[in-house]
Amino acid sequence: MVELQANTWLTRYNTLRLPARSRYFVCATDRTLLLQAVAQARRDELPLLILGGGSNLVLRGDFPGVCVQLATRGITANQWDSDWQWVTAQAGESWHDFVRTCIANGWYGLENLALIPGTVGACPIQNIGAYGVEVKDYIDAVELLDLASGEVRELSGQDCRFGYRDSIFKGELRDQVVILSVRFRLRRTPQLVIGYQGLAEALAGIADPSPQDLFDAVVALRQRKLPDPAQIPNVGSFFKNPVVDRARYRQLLTRHPGLVAYPDAQGMKLAAGWLIDQAGWKGFSDGPVGVHRQQALVLVHTGGGDGAQLLALAARIQADIQRRYGVALEIEPRIYGSPRLPAGLCW
Ligand code: FAD
Ligand code: NAP
């Protein structure tokens, strides 16, 4: 039977380094451990938190249930045809290592998603995206454990209802399933996406860039522009880019001629980082939490703070952006935990 650790600090398991404990914790390196932990949580009627790399969640306080860090590994090449290669990766695989493995094997499409922290199992949750590519375009199916029925089943990419940083796993199936593995359908012939300004510039000097060149350019760009969570704890973009209809966009543009926005299927996608920057928040700090000095979309924790302080700062920014632009900013990472237990107390 699986042994759950009691009163475990999750500080090192979340990239914001927020101090919070879980009533029980286990690192599941195989499916049997996962199933046993799930059964135990169910028997004791405790909530369950599935953790990957902890790079897209905010621990507001202690978690009163069972936290399972999913660390299952394995990458398998499945069938192929003249255009596509199907590949299955287990949930606990590191996302960045998986992207690197794909390129090394001649399986293409994921290059723009290099250096995104976290695990393969979390990639469908918010349909990770960067530099004009979203993972949904390469997900064939997701294998999942249905927590209500205990059944293992497959959901096709189409049934995952992917949207902009969104999926069924953030809606109807939120906390209802554990993603066990993801099957990708990858290109056998590269088709590079290099439209984003920074990328186009980085690759301008290369006559016929290869997928490896693109991967290297994305890694270099991200290392230059984004704070490394190991140095400055963060969860990447704290807010989603809001999408408004075109009439609203034109109104905003009249009042804010420098407004940065891009066409989107639903209207216009506003650069949330620009809104926050223009409102004067970039570099702002409030004790242990603040806004990164180069990336207004990234909230940081410089040590000694907690999730409640970080969320209070986020709420101030949301209120200010609403007041100035009439635009609602939605928090991107998922929030867990109840108020922290008083020091010295445990479950
Ligand atoms: P976690 O933070 O561990 O979990 C996130 C959520 O998914 C939680 O609700 C968790 O319960 C759930 N979950 C995780 N694994 C499973 C599973 N197997 N089954 C069921 N539920 C699960 N995101 C982007 O989209 N694009 C980017 O370019 C990007 N850049 C980033 C840069 C930095 C510096 C950082 C810190 C973050 C960035 N992110 C980006 C956000 C984040 O890395 C991704 O969302 C990533 O997919 C989260 O993976 P994770 O394993 O850390 O998930
Ligand atoms: P950037 O390239 O400076 O662009 C700023 C914003 O403008 C981005 O949010 C991006 O939207 C949008 N944008 C820029 N060029 C665009 C184009 N040609 N078409 C459509 N939209 C465009 O952004 P950055 O902060 O350095 O990040 C680079 C990429 O990594 C972005 O795609 C970003 O989403 C991704 N990223 C995500 C996270 C996260 O946690 N979610 C963290 C860091 C970086 P999109 O965000 O829709 O791409």
Q: Tell me, what amino acid is at 275?
A: L
Q: Is the CB of 227 under 6 A from ligand 2?
A: no
Q: Tell me which of 1.10.287.70, 3.40.50.1220, 3.50.50.60, 3.30.465.10 is the CATH number of domain 75-225.
A: 3.30.465.10
Closest CA to 119 of 175, 50, 59: 50
Give the model confidence (pLDDT) of 52-93 as tens digits. 999 999 999 999 999 999 999 999 999 999 999 999 999 999
Q: Which residue has the tokens 């979203």?
A: 134
Q: Residue range 312-325: average pLDDT?
A: 97
Confidence of residue 187 (pLDDT cuts 50, 70, 90): very high
**pLDDT score recorded for residue 340:** 75
Query: Do residues 301 and 314 touch, judged by C-beta distance below 8 A?
Result: no
In this structure, the residue with its CA closest to atom 11 of ligand 2 is 271
What are the domain boundaries of the chain? 5-70, 75-225, 239-331
**pLDDT score recorded for residue 68:** 98
For 334, the token pair is 């998922």
In this structure, the residue with its CA closest to atom 6 of ligand 2 is 271
Ligand 1 center–CA 96 separation, angstroms: 12
What's the CATH number for 239-331?
A: 3.90.78.10
**pLDDT score recorded for residue 289:** 98
**pLDDT score recorded for residue 338:** 85
Query: Do residues 178 and 70 touch, judged by C-beta distance below 8 A?
Result: yes
What is the rounded CA–CA span in Å between residue 66 and residue 247? Answer: 47
Q: Is the pLDDT of residue 347 over 90?
A: no
DSSP 295: -
Q: What is the mean pLDDT of the chain?
A: 96
Q: Active-site residue 134, yes or no? A: no
Give the model confidence (pLDDT) of 243-261 as tens digits. 999 999 999 999 999 999 9
Q: Is the pLDDT of residue 199 over 90?
A: yes
Tell which atom from ligand 1 comes closest to the C-alpha of 334.
9
What is the rounded CA–CA span in Å between residue 246 and residue 252? Answer: 10
Q: Is the pLDDT of residue 12 over 80?
A: yes
Query: Do residues 328 and 242 touch, judged by C-beta distance below 8 A?
Result: yes
Q: Is the CB of 31 under 6 A from ligand 1?
A: no
Tell which atom from ligand 2 comes closest to the C-alpha of 264.
20
**pLDDT score recorded for residue 318:** 97
Catalytic residue among 22, 55, 181, 237: 237
Which ligand places an atom closest to the C-alpha of 222?
2
**pLDDT score recorded for residue 324:** 97
Q: Active-site residue 332, yes or no? A: yes
Catalytic residue among 100, 165, 183, 340: 165
Ligand 2 center–CA 67 separation, angstroms: 31
Q: With pLDDT > 70 as the criterion, what percentage of the chain qualifies?
A: 100
Q: Is the pLDDT of residue 343 over 90?
A: no
Q: Is the CB of 333 under 6 A from ligand 2?
A: no
Catalytic residue among 111, 134, 143, 332: 332
What's the CATH number for 5-70?
A: 3.30.43.10
Query: Do residues 290 and 300 touch, judged by C-beta distance below 8 A?
Result: yes
In this structure, the residue with its CA closest to atom 24 of ligand 1 is 128
Q: Active-site residue 55, yes or no? A: no
> pTM, whole model, 2 decimals?
0.97
**pLDDT score recorded for residue 344:** 78
Q: Residue range 190-208: average pLDDT?
A: 94
For 335, the token pair is 């929030």
Q: Residue range 159-166: average pLDDT?
A: 96
Q: Is the pLDDT of residue 1 over 90?
A: no
